[in-house]
Amino acid sequence: MRIKTYATALLVGVLAVLPLSPAGAAETPNGATSAVKPVVINVDEIGTKGVLEFPSASTNPINGDSSVATPALLGPMDSINCNISHNSNWNITSYSARSFSSFGGGKINLKCGNTAAGYVHIKQRHASEWAKRIASVGGLGRWDDFMSYATKSALNNPSLIRHAGAGKLCYSTPIVLTNSSRTKKVTFSPTVVVSQTTKTLITSYPTGAPNCR
């Protein structure tokens, strides 16, 4: 019995340090970290063509002008369900999350939610924080379009994943904000918390450093 217990403990110890697939992040009991390239976002395009992203080092504002415009977050039906009908279960969009530990990752839904989680919570508690980040480099775009792309980046290509309480995981990744004139640049790491059980987005807010506790 002791041999079996020891073998089980040894196996658990080995699994605890196996890399995350497929990013190769080092996983520990406290979380996983991975070296990733910061995502660069041009805030001047937020709210007009969506969020203008520079998806790789060869096409970012420093090295080139190639870019990809993403659509705005809220469509007409989303606005009706979230802001008028208060349909907490209405799904606005979905993101793809990296797997971690026993969590298989995959689709994470952003629902209208309520004051505790989802779009309504983020709007009430953190909209002004997202707007201030945009304004810090002279942007005038919509806070929720910006929030959505930063959230997508953190879930899909995290530099950090940690447990965040019962049934919750916290993701973060470095984001660089700039403007069309390339005269300003601000770096931050959003804190994104998801439910492992319902596979929904709980909250997302901008922080200088990841606030995953």
- The helix-helix angle for 119-135 and 143-156 (nearest 10°) equals 100
User: Within 10 Å of residue 143's Cβ, how many Cβ atoms?
Assistant: 23
pLDDT of residue 46: 65
Can you spell out the DSSP letters for 115-180? SSSSHHHHHHHHHHHHHHHHHTTT----HHHHHHHHHHHHHHS-SEEEE-STTEEEEE--EEEE-T
Is position 78 within any domain?
Answer: yes
pLDDT of residue 101: 86
β 201-205/91-97 pair status: unpaired
Is position 212 within any domain?
Answer: no
Is position 210 within any domain?
Answer: no
Q: How many domains does the chain have?
A: 1
Residue 38 near residue 113, CB atoms below 8 Å: no
pLDDT of residue 69: 41
Is position 63 within any domain?
Answer: yes
Is position 151 within any domain?
Answer: yes
In which residue are the tokens 């807010």 written? 205
From edge to edge, which strands make up the β-sheet containing 168-172? 26-28, 31-33, 160-163, 168-172, 191-195, 201-205
Q: Against a cut of 0.85, is the pTM above it?
A: no
What does pLDDT average to in each consecutive run of 10 residues of the chain (213 residues)? 39 33 45 71 62 38 37 86 95 95 93 97 95 83 88 93 92 88 83 96 91 72
pLDDT of residue 16: 31
Please name the helix (run of DSSP H) or strand (run of DSSP E) that holds residue 192, with its range, or none. Answer: strand 191-195
Which residues contact residue 190 at a Cβ distance below 8 angstroms, ignoring those fewer than 6 apart? 147, 150, 151, 153, 154, 172, 173, 175, 204, 205, 206, 207
User: Within 10 Å of residue 71's Cβ, how many Cβ atoms?
Assistant: 11
Domain that holds residue 93: 2-205
Is position 213 within any domain?
Answer: no
